[in-house]
Structures are given as C-alpha cells and as structure tokens.
Structure 1
Amino acid sequence: MSLTASPAPAPRPTYGAVLGSPYVARLLGGTLTGRLPNGMAPVAIVLWATTSGHSIAFGGLLSALYGLSSALAQPVKGRLMDRHGQTAVHLPAAVVNSALLIALPLTGPYGGATLATVIVVAGGLTTPPLEAGLRALWPSVLPDPRLRHAALALDTGTQGLLYIVGPLLVAALSAAYDPAVALAVTAVLGIAGTATVALCPPSRRWRPTPSTHAHAHESPRLASTALVLLFASLTGVGFAIGAMNVWSVSMAEQHRQEMLSGILPAAFSTGSFLGGLLYGRRHWTGTNTHRLIIATGAFLAGWLPLLFLAGPYAATIVVAVPGAFLTVVVACAYVTTDTLAPAARTSEAYAWLILSIGAGQGAGTALAGRLAEQPLAGAALPAAGAAFALALLLAAGRRLTPPNTPPLSHHHR
C-alpha cells in the first residue's frame, strides 16, 4: 500500500479536544443560542399570523420576508464587520432585532398587516451575522488546521440543533401560552446568545487579517461561473427547507395536531445533526465535488416518499433522511467555496453562500404558503428544490474542482 493511502501520522483530533480549547465552547454555545431565532422566528411568525386572524398564506409570506431580508443583508453586515469589528455590529443588531420581534404582536390595533410586514422585514435585516462571524474567528481561535477542520464539522453539524430545539420550543410555548410569548422568548435568547459571543475576547479583538485588507481591491469580481452555479444550486437546498417549514404547519392543521409544526422540522434537523457528526468523524477520500453531488442526490431521494402523502408518523421518520444529508451538502459547499473564491475574499464568499441558502428558503416558504391548501403540491416542493440543486451541480461538473486541489476534505488555505 502506498504511503499516501496510510492514515495521517498525527491522531485525529476529537470533538472533546476542540471543545476543550480556549473560548471554543463559549463561542459555539453563544452562536447556537444567538442563532436560535433563525429556527424559532419563521415558525413563530406563521403561528402568530394564523392565530391573529390572518391566513396561512400571509403568515408564510411574513416568514419568507423575514428569512429573505436576513439573507440579503448578510454581505452588507459582513462588510461592516470587516470595517468596524464584530462587537460593533453584533450587539446593536441583536438589540434592534429583539425589540422588533417583541413588538410584532402589538401590530394588530396599530396598522395591521402593513405594519407587521414592515416590522418583519426590519427584523430580518437586523439579525446578527453570527454564522459568518464564527467562521471568521476559527483561524485565530484554533491555529492548528486539524482542529479547525474538526471545529468546522462540529459547527456545521450542531446547527441542526437550531431547527430541533427552535421549532419544538415555539410549538410548546404557543400551545401552552400564545405565539406572542414564543416571539418574546425568541428575542431574549437571541440577544443573550449574541452578547455571549460579542463580549468574548476573540470576537472583541477580531479584525480582518492584514493581507485580506491590503488586497481587498485586487479582485473586483468575486463571482466565477463555478461559484455562481454553486450558489444558485444552494438556493434549491434552501427552497426545500423553507417549503418543509410551511408544509409542517399545514400538516399540523390537516391532522389537528399542533405540535407537528415543531416535530416535523425537529425530526429533519435531528437527522441533520446526527449526519453532520458522523460526517465530521470520518476520513473521506475522493474529491469534495464528488461528495457534494452524491450528498445532494441523497438529499433529493430522501424527499420523494412524501409524494405518497404519508401520515404524521411516517412523515416524521421520512424527513429525517434528507436531513441526514443536509449538513454534508452544506459542509462540502463551504469547502468548495473556499477553494473557488479569491484568497482575500473568502469571508465575503461565505456571506454570499449564506445568502443563497436563505434566499432559497424564503422563496420556498412563500410558495409553500400559497400552495398550503394543496397537499400534494406542498409535499412535492422540497423535492423540487433538491432536484434543482442537483441539476445545477451536475451542470457545473468539473468546474467545482480547481486544478491541483487535494482530494481530501482537510484542504485549507
């Protein structure tokens, strides 16, 4: 057997070693808590709208606007972080976002649907850019590339927790109290988690590396054909997630089981969480592009059983299958972005990746809301989004693998 096929001479770092490194547990925990509104707000907004006398279509539109405005603002907030640092962006954004979520239930007597729409859009625009911020911190917090690789796998995998805990918590609070209470809890968790990150020394001290700042104007065009195709494909992945969230609310109404609106997204995200942890612990061979395409194909196949209009229990099991491949798709997409983007603009490229998924999620939420009264169409939308993603990745083909790229997923700049 050749030497290149042998295991790496140094032992693979464990998740325990990553979490035991200074500041890692605080940054990861704070980011997960601060991003819980991403998993809670879309569901809470739909439930608040429907219990306030609005249609599920209007609730789906509001939820879509929240996700879409949050995604569209990502590159702007990333640029502000580059210029002013993370704390100066995170804290004001969290304060405004939380205040708007708390104010949303007060719109009924003071402007109705128009004011609610304005508040939701403003709330989305002011979501703290914690995901991009955390990925920018890893090189300074974990100088060892092996630890950074494990941290990225852990970071990506545990994001499934947002969509396990978040929707379940919203459904429970809405059932026990009121969707307005769920929105208030969403706001409190968001500002608490953001403060935990923003006041942490690595975040307070963080500034772009000198080389990134010095060469900011060397490559005026970030986009290449390969990156455009990659980001466009990720809108299909986001579309599937957004459509699933509204489909879950429709299933809850159809079967008169309110908790389904939280249980179905939580089952999907449980699969994502477990799939991500397993992916991060494996040593993978072959190109990252090949893994990305295979994982996206499996993501598509996982949605197809929903076309048979499964009942609540079968649907809960089925949605965990595409969830298991979601984290693999996203993790491979980050590695691909890193290899394709100009070296001085990877943070901006990450922001566009996040925007692509968020924009697709908003579109899926909106269309699913419009088709909520048609069960077969609603069940088919996630598969349609995944099929779109796979088609674009297949069209991109070898463009996604630059020449001389190492075949292992441990590639770092």
Structure 2
Amino acid sequence: MLRTRYAFRTFGAALLGRLSYGMVSLSLVLAIKETTDSYAVAGAIMALFGLTSVLLSPVRAGLVDRYGPRRALLPMAAAYALLLTGLACVTAWPGASGTLLGILAVPAGACTPPLGPVMRTLWSDLVPDRLLLQRAYSLDTVAEELLFVTGPLLVGLLVQVAAPSVGVAVSAALILIGSLALSSSPAVRGWAGQERFPAAPTSSEGLVSGVRPSPLRQWLLHSDPGLRQAITVSAAVGMCLGAFDLLVIAFADEHENPSPVAWVLAALSGGSAIGGLVYGAVSWRASSRLRLAFLAAALGLPLAAMGLSPHPYMLIAWAAIGGLFVAPALTTAYLIADECAGPASRTRAGAWVNTAFNAGSAGATAAIGLLLGRLPLPVCFALAAAPVVLSAATVLHQSCRPTLNTAAPIEHDAGLTS
C-alpha cells in the first residue's frame, strides 16, 4: 500500500505535521505553569485551547472540502504556527499575563489544521481499492496513536536541555513544515475544492414555516444513517478511553499498588497497535456496520470486567485484550464515514468522527472524576463501558432492521462490504 504512487511522501508529510499534536499539549502545559506558577491558569488555558480545537474541527474540515488544502489548509497552518510562536515567546519569560495567554490560546485552538481528516480523504483518492483503503486507515490510526505516545517522550527529553517554551516553538515548526509538505504533494493537485462537484439539491423536508435550516444542521439531518452511527460509536469509544486512565489510577490507589498503572496503559496502546495492523491485513466478508458493532462490544466488555479484577496486575491482561479492538473500531468508523459521505464532504465527515471521539473522551474524563469516590469502583467501570456497548447494540439493531425503501439503500449497501 505504501508503494502506491505519492502515498509514502504524502503520509510522511502528514505524520510530521501531526507529531506537533503529540507534543503541543504537554509543552504548553509545562510552559504556562513555568511562566505563571499556577496549575489553575495552565488548566484553564489548556481547556480553552482544547475546546476550541475540538468543537471547530468540522468547520475547519468543511473549509478544506470547499476550497481545497492549498487554499484552506495553508492559511490555517500559518495562523496556528504564528500563534504558537507567540505563546512560545510569551511563556519564555516569567510572570506572563494569563489573559494574554488566553487571548493567544483560543484562536490557536480555532486554527488547528485538520491534518488527520485531510490525510484520510487523500487515502481514499490514492488507494481506491477498498481492501487497500482499509489497510491505509488501519496504518493511519496506529501511526497516530504512536505519535501521541512518542510526542510526550520527545518533550520530556527536550525539557532536559531547554525551556518548555522551546517545545511549543518546535510544535509550531512541525505543523508548518508538515502542512507545507502535504499541500505541495502531487496527491493534492487535483483537489480543487467543492466547486468540482455539483451542489446537492435541497430537500423541501428541511424547511419549516419557510425557514431554511443551517447548512451544518441540514448536512447532519440528511446525512447517511451509517455516518451518524459511526459518529455515535466514535463518541462512545472516546468516552470509554477517556474514563479508562482515571479508573486505572483509582483501582491502583484502592489496592495501594500504583506500579502497574504504566504497564496497564502500555498494554492498551500495544494491544491497539497489534489489533489495528492485523485488522487492516484481513479481508473481511461482513459489512462495515456489523464489524463496527462487534468491535465496539468487544472493546466495552473487557472494560466492564476490569472492575471485578482481584489484583491490579490483572488489569494488564484485560487492557491488552480490550486494546486489540480500539484501532480497528476507529478504523471502521472512518471507513464508514468515507463510504457514506459525498465527494464534496469526505473531509468533514472524517472530522466529525474525530471530533466525536475527542468530545466523548473529554466529557467522560470529567464525569468519571465526579463519580469516583461516590460509587463503588466496579460500578464506575461498568458505567464507563455502558456507552460503547449500547452504541454497539444500536448499530446492530439498525443494521439488521429491514429496509422499506428498496431504491437507494440497495445500491449503498453494496459499497459496505469489503
């Protein structure tokens, strides 16, 4: 698959830019803490940065769909890099104003370039064969997870020889260089934006009392049900993993044995990498929606069982088993999004899956933090697993339900098999 024309160059450029995402959060937290000497200020600014980045991701992806990477991605990357450079300069000196840091952080989050969704859209152009696309998405998901592991490690090495603000500046350089290299790839030359495709006719069903719904709401309401299912499962997987870290720490504290925590998290990441690579290499007969339901359930059930473990070291085995299904579940969600979206909205569809995952992760982390100490730990594990299991049941029910309309769904279902 990597021998496909322009694939290696384009993928390498995207990974270089996405390494910035693995480094920027820790670098920015350390830099803000050092200059303000306040964890509260650092937490508040990072929350603003993360919220604007996550919530506006579909909007930024829609701009790329409409205008193409060279006209939309490059200005975003330039603005993002400039604002990160400003944050690096401000945090290089002690006593920086929290207000000034917030003024820089909010627009920086709003300008975060959607390199992941753009790369997944390019994959569907580079490798039109569905089996190769499955492998490409699997590799992409595994590589992205590894970047979020190696990024903090690089920051840890960097702060041994330089100030944390240097890590912020390096993140700015990585995103700018990666975006420039990606946009200059021959793979994006034919991507001229939405004007290549005829506008879809507007259905009169979306009009109430003569008022036209917003384009975003209209797109979500009239999108394929499979896309909404992929977004729902992605959010549930994010909730599952967002709660996982705190639950593991709480379990270790309850048993007064914190040493296995790092091994549990490593087992989850290692299992996800192995599962993603194996999943991409297999030619599946079942439809994408049935696979998504199975993978989501297979991820949630081990998490629920963790709460009943007699010893923290048992969590390592459960985490490795559950991790086998993390990357495959996300890969399948991205595949469904690509299959269901029209040619002019594929980047936005992938961004919605990504946004749902990040939003679910953040929300579950906050929610489980409130529940810990108020409910027994096994109940907290079960509650964390419930969304992903319920989403699997919903997808399975929708996939098995007979379809009354025999026109469009028949043609669409044919594209769901690998």
TM-score (norm 2): 0.75
1:37 matched residue in structure 2: 20
Question: Size of the alignment, in residue pairs?
Answer: 388
Letter in 1 for 2:114: P
- 158-167 or 398-407, which deviates more: 398-407
> C-alpha deviations, 1:312-367, integer Å up to 9, x for none?
97766654443321111112212333454456544432222222122223334555
1:214 matched residue in structure 2: 198
Equivalent residues of 1:372, 1:378 under 8 A apart: no
CA distance in 2, matches of 1:119, 1:253: 38
Q: Is 1:154 aligned to residue 146 of structure 2?
A: no
User: Where in structure 1 are there 5+ consecutive unaligned residues?
Assistant: 1-17
2:127 matched residue in structure 1: 142
> C-alpha deviations, 1:26-77, integer Å up to 9, x for none?
111111221123333333344445555333x665554444333222222222
Q: Is 1:223 aligned to residue 190 of structure 2?
A: no
Looking at CA atoms only, which structure, 1 or 2, has the larger radius of gyration? 2
Q: Alignment identity in percent? A: 30
CA distance in 1, matches of 2:116, 2:124: 14
Letter in 2 for 1:353: V
1:53 matched residue in structure 2: 37
Structure 1 segment 2-401 matched on structure 2, within 5 A = 18-48=1-31, 53-55=37-39, 59-104=42-87, 106-107=90-91, 109-112=95-98, 114-174=99-159, 177-208=162-193, 213-218=197-202, 221-224=218-221, 227-244=227-244, 267-304=267-304, 307=307, 319-341=319-341, 345-367=345-367, 384-400=383-399
Give the superposition deviation at 1:132.
1.7
The 3-state SS of whatever aligns with 1:20 is coil
CA distance in 2, matches of 1:315, 1:244: 11
Letter in 2 for 1:40: M
CA gap of 1:381–1:183, structure 2 versus 1, over 3 A, is farther
User: Where in structure 2 are there 5+ consecutive unaligned residues?
Assistant: 204-214, 404-408
CA gap of 1:353–1:282, structure 2 versus 1, over 3 A, is same
CA distance in 1, matches of 2:25, 2:380: 18
CA gap of 1:179–1:201, structure 2 versus 1, over 3 A, is same
2:212 matched residue in structure 1: none
CA gap of 1:305–1:194, structure 2 versus 1, over 3 A, is farther
CA distance in 1, matches of 2:253, 2:29: 12
> C-alpha deviations, 1:136-188, integer Å up to 9, x for none?
22344334444334323322332222222123223343456553333333222
- 395-404 or 35-44, which deviates more: 395-404
CA distance in 2, matches of 1:395, 1:299: 15
TM-score (norm 1): 0.76
CA gap of 1:309–1:189, structure 2 versus 1, over 3 A, is farther
CA distance in 2, matches of 1:125, 1:188: 18
Equivalent residues of 2:239, 2:357 under 8 A apart: yes
RMSD over aligned Cα, in angstroms? 4.1
